[in-house]
């Protein structure tokens, strides 16, 4: 199960790995990563076992599994991008959070004893490099998520704290586009084999194709669009942004408005034209600026 | 100035509009929106003045400016997508946050008197509709940001709280792709007129073109890439995702690796090939999975 474990708040302490397992926070009693290559990683434990780990608290540069001597924590062989390492890449591709648990032997603010659940992190990036011991290691950048903000209709962006002192200059900031991962969005991507319903493109990554699902009528207030196949499209990132920003709309005959072409709809996709109609009305208003 | 005003914490109270102005939190003393069509909106005030406003706290469905009778709060004319309304759309296109101030006459948790700075919100969506009084209004969905997480190297995603009770089923969640807005990313987009350096495409929205800037060597630990023109590309959303997910890389002669074509580089773009080389090494490792 991905995300918080119900009833287990951030900061909860556990006596040992068995207790973590019993609570469902981190299920393996030995492995540092709980995950499957084809599904993603649910949780990781940081407990000082890898010489290359770099724990900055809110950001963790996490070393993948394998090639590690348990006694010394040193690398004695190359790591491969398989199994649980591959699972962490799947979190990037699908945008899944990973639970982070810190143990008493960790480097950054460890609990006095046992283990502590430290909340959800985003897997932001991955790459291979030669570790301190000369072997190839896979590394993952984990970034802590705002736990207290865990709400279905919320998304965050992170402005920088730097202040230029001048007005009305814009300060540098981190922003983000919303991409939702739900059973329905996974289903629509499978149906189209990750191909964009507008341009037919798909992004081929080393660990599988990438596409985005767009809710036609947005989720949440005031639109309250449903999270159903009737209300979702499989799009490439560019057409997703273009759809959300009203660069194009779709007519009842599925012809595109605002650019050439038409929306391809799979026979098994029960798309509801009334949602496209609602988007089209918003599109028309956005273009009718006087 | 966008973002928090230095020294003004979330929850700070102000006696009146003059005090808000003096602090730089909301500069106009009458208008509900502080912004310029070509720059974006810095701040908005929610004070019960618009019959169509819907304040849910973390989410605000905000009514644009204009056509409003100040005495009654009723709409008496259509609104246009100009000036400060247009400014709020610019926040969406550029991913800028807006400061939200609540006044004592507001509908949701208003301060006992005067005004309260309630932190940063994201402008998530906009559309026109007929308001309660029958006139066209522009509406904006504002979503509260995680203030305590306002860090340059942090980004958040918001898992849903729903629990399916089954394992290892994935719970629905909201995830997001990172797009950064800095002086440098704005500069690179201007240089390429928002055209993708890989495919030449640009997204034409009703309020201007849209493109994304990609840092070649990522910002933050452990890569610590610089936020300079030497380290940034102007890409469409699809090629941005593809670049970050190692779907392609760029050779020293600017030919693409992993897909046909080459990277177009403007003569005034001092791109540093060593950054592309670092990305290429990460790309190669990601494809060399044994």
Helix ranges (DSSP H) in chain A: 17-23, 83-94, 183-191, 237-244, 273-287
Question: How far is A41 from A181, CA to CA, in rounded Å?
Answer: 15
DSSP secondary structure letter of residue A230: G
Rounded to whole angstroms, the Cα distance separating B19 from B242 reads 48
Q: Cβ of A152 and B145 within 8 Å? A: no
**B176·A161 Cβ contact <8 A:** no
Hey, of A159, A163, A242, which one would you mutate to test binding to chain B, going by the most B CBs within 10 A of its CB? A159
Return the higher-pLDDT residue of A219 and B57: B57
- Residue B23: beta bridge partners? none
Average pLDDT of the segment spanning A219-237: 90
Q: Which residue of B has its CA nearest to A42?
A: B168
Who wins on pLDDT, A145 or A21? A21
Cα of B35 to nearest chain A Cα, Å: 10
Nearest to A210 among B95, B151, B245 (CB): B245
- Burial class from Cβ neighbours inside 10 Å (0-12, 13-18, 19+) for residue A187 reads middle
Contact A170 B80 (CB under 8 A): no
Highest mean predicted confidence (pLDDT) among A135-144, A156-165, B16-25, B61-70: B16-25
Higher local confidence (pLDDT), B186 or A33: A33
Strands B40-46 and B97-103: parallel
Full DSSP string of A37-58:
TTTEEEEEEESS--TT-EE-SS
| Residue of A23, A83, A124, A173 to mutate when probing chain B, most B C-beta within 10 A | A173
What's the token pair of residue A50? 């890898």
**Cβ separation A2–B171 shorter than 8 A:** yes
By three-state DSSP, how is residue A137 classified? strand
Chain B environment of A247 (Cβ under 8 Å):
203-206, 210
B82, B37 in Cβ contact below 8 A?
A: yes
Angle A151-A155-A157 (CA atoms, 0-180°, nearest 5)? 140
Distance CA A16, CA A114 (A): 5
Model pLDDT, residue A151: 30
Contact check, Cβ <8 Å, A203/B152: no
Residue-range domain boundaries for chain A: 13-146, 176-287
Question: Which is it for strands A173-181 and B173-181: parallel, antiparallel or unpaired?
Answer: antiparallel
Contact B146 A125 (CB under 8 A): no
Rg (CA), chain A: 22
pLDDT of A166:
29
- Report the residue from B24, B154, B173 with minimal CB separation from A58: B154
- CA geometry: angle A188, A193, A199, nearest 5 deg: 90
ipTM of this predicted structure: 0.75
Name the residue among A156, A247, A288 with its Cβ closest to that of B204.
Answer: A247
Kindly report the pTM of this predicted structure: 0.75
Q: Who contacts A219 (Cβ-Cβ below 8 Å, separation ≥6)?
A: A152, A153, A180, A225, A227
- A222 closest CB neighbour out of B61, B240, B288: B61
- Residue A250 reports pLDDT greater than 60: yes
The answer to whether the beta carbons of residues B234 and B251 sit under 8 Å apart is no
Q: How far is CA A144 from CA A102, B219, B244, in A?
A: 13, 16, 19
Question: Which chain A residues are closer than 8 Å to B186 by Cβ?
Answer: 170
CB A102 within 8 A of CB A118: yes
Instruction: Confirm if B255 and B262 have CB atoms less than 8 A apart.
Output: yes
A22 contacts: CB under 8 Å, gap ≥ 6:
none
Q: Considering only A254-258, A280-284, B155-159, which range has the smallest mean pLDDT?
A: B155-159
Contacts of residue B220 in chain A, CB cutoff 8 Å?
59, 141
Question: Does the pLDDT value for residue A181 go beyond 80?
Answer: no
Torsion of CA A175, A219, A146, B152, to 10 degrees: 0
Q: For B167, which residue in chain A has the nearest alpha carbon?
A: A1
Contact at 8 Å (CB) between B89 and B126? yes
How far is B255 from B260, CA to CA, in rounded Å?
A: 8
Q: What is the 3-state secondary structure (H, E, C) of chain B?
A: CCCCCCCCCCCCEECCHHHHHHHCCCCCCCCCEEEECCCEEEEEEECCCCCCCEECCCEEEEECCCCECCCCCCECCCCCCCHHHHHHHHHHHHCCEEEEEEECCCCCCCCCCCEEEEEEEEEEEEEEEECCCCCEEEEEEEEECCHHHCCCCCCCCEECCCCCCCCCCCCCEEEEEEEEECHHHHHHHHHCCCCCCCCCCCEEECCEEECEEEECCCCCCCCCCCCCHHHEEEECHHHHHHHHCCCCEECCCCEEECCCCECCCCCCCCCCHHHHHHHHHHHHHHHCCC
CA-to-CA distance for A190 and A17, rounded, in angstroms? Answer: 36
Nearest to A47 by CA among A128, A98, A114: A114
Place of tokens 């992993």: B258
Asked if B158's CB is within 8 angstroms of A154's CB, the reply is: yes
**Mean pLDDT (chain A, rounded):** 84
Which of B146, B175, B181 is facing A95, going by the closest CB pair?
B175
Please tell me the distance from the alpha carbon of residue B53 to that of residue B74, in angstroms, as a whole number.
11
Q: Do B205 and B194 meet the contact criterion of CB atoms below 8 Å apart?
A: no
| Residues A124, B148: C-beta atoms closer than 8 Å | no
Q: Are B74 and B137 in contact (CB under 8 A)?
A: no
Are A145 and B162 a contacting pair at CB < 8 A? no
Per-residue pLDDT, A179: 56
Q: Which residue has the higher pLDDT, A68 or B61?
A: B61
Nearest CA in chain B to A99: B159
Nearest beta carbon to residue A203 from set B6, B125, B242: B242
Q: What residues of A are in contact with residue B59 (Cβ under 8 Å)?
A: 153-154, 220-221
Cα–Cα distance between A21 and A28 in angstroms, integer? Answer: 7
**pLDDT at residue A157, as a whole number:** 28
Q: For residue A180, what pLDDT is reported?
A: 59
β-partners of residue B177 are A177
Cβ partners under 8 Å of residue B273, min gap 6? B252
Residue A145: which of B143, B148, B157 has the nearest Cβ?
B157
Q: What's the distance, Cα to Cα, between the start and end of chain A in Å?
A: 50
Query: Can you give the pLDDT of all 290 residues of chain B as single tens digits?
Result: 888 888 898 999 999 999 999 999 999 999 999 999 988 899 999 998 787 889 999 889 999 998 888 788 788 999 988 899 999 998 887 778 899 999 999 989 999 999 999 998 888 888 888 888 889 889 999 988 764 333 322 222 222 222 222 222 333 444 445 556 677 888 999 999 999 999 999 999 988 899 999 999 988 778 888 989 999 999 999 999 999 889 999 999 999 999 999 999 999 999 999 999 999 998 998 888 65
Pick the CATH number of B13-147 from 1.10.3720.10, 2.30.280.10, 3.30.70.920, 3.40.50.1100: 2.30.280.10
CB A279 within 8 A of CB A253: no
Q: How far is B242 from chain A (nearest CA, A)?
A: 6
Q: How many CB pairs under 8 A join A and B?
A: 353
CA-closest candidate to residue B125, choices B99, B92, B156: B92
Q: The CATH number of A13-146 is which of 1.10.620.20, 3.40.50.1970, 3.40.50.300, 2.30.280.10?
A: 2.30.280.10
| A127 contacts B282? CB cut-off 8 A | yes
Residues in chain B with CB shorter than 8 Å from the CB of A122 are 155-157, 175
Rounded-to-integer distance, Cα B277 and Cα B283, Å: 10
Q: Which of B87, B238, B240, B279 best probes binding to A when mutated, by most A CB atoms within 10 angstroms?
A: B238
pLDDT at A146: 64
């Amino acid at each position: 199960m991905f995300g918080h474990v119900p009833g287990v708040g951030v900061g909860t302490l556990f006596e040992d790995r068995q207790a973590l397992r019993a609570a469902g926070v981190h299920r393996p009693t030995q492995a540092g990563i709980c995950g499957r290559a084809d599904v993603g990683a649910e949780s990781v434990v940081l407990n000082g076992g890898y010489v290359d780990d770099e724990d900055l608290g809110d950001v963790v540069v996490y070393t993948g599994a394998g090639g590690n001597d348990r006694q010394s924590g040193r690398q004695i062989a190359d790591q491969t991008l398989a199994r649980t390492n591959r699972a962490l890449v799947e979190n990037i591709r699908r945008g899944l959070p990973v639970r982070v648990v810190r143990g008493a032997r960790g480097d950054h603010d460890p609990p006095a004893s046992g283990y502590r659940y430290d909340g959800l992190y985003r897997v932001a990036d991955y790459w291979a490099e030669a570790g301190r011991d000369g072997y190839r290691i896979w590394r993952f950048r984990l970034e802590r998520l705002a736990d207290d903000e865990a709400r279905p209709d919320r998304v965050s962006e992170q402005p920088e704290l730097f202040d230029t002192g001048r007005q009305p200059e814009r300060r540098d900031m981190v922003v983000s586009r919303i991409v939702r991962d739900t059973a329905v969005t996974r289903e629509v991507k499978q149906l189209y084999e990750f191909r964009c319903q507008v341009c037919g493109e798909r992004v081929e990554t080393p660990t599988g194709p990438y596409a985005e699902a767009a809710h036609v009528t947005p989720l949440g207030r005031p639109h309250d669009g449903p999270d159903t196949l009737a209300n979702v499209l499989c799009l490439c990132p560019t057409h997703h942004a273009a759809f959300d920003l009203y660069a194009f709309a779709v007519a009842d005959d599925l012809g595109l408005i605002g650019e050439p072409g038409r929306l391809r709809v799979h026979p098994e996709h029960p798309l509801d034209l009334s949602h496209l109609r609602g988007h089209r009305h918003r599109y028309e208003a956005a273009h009718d600026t006087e």
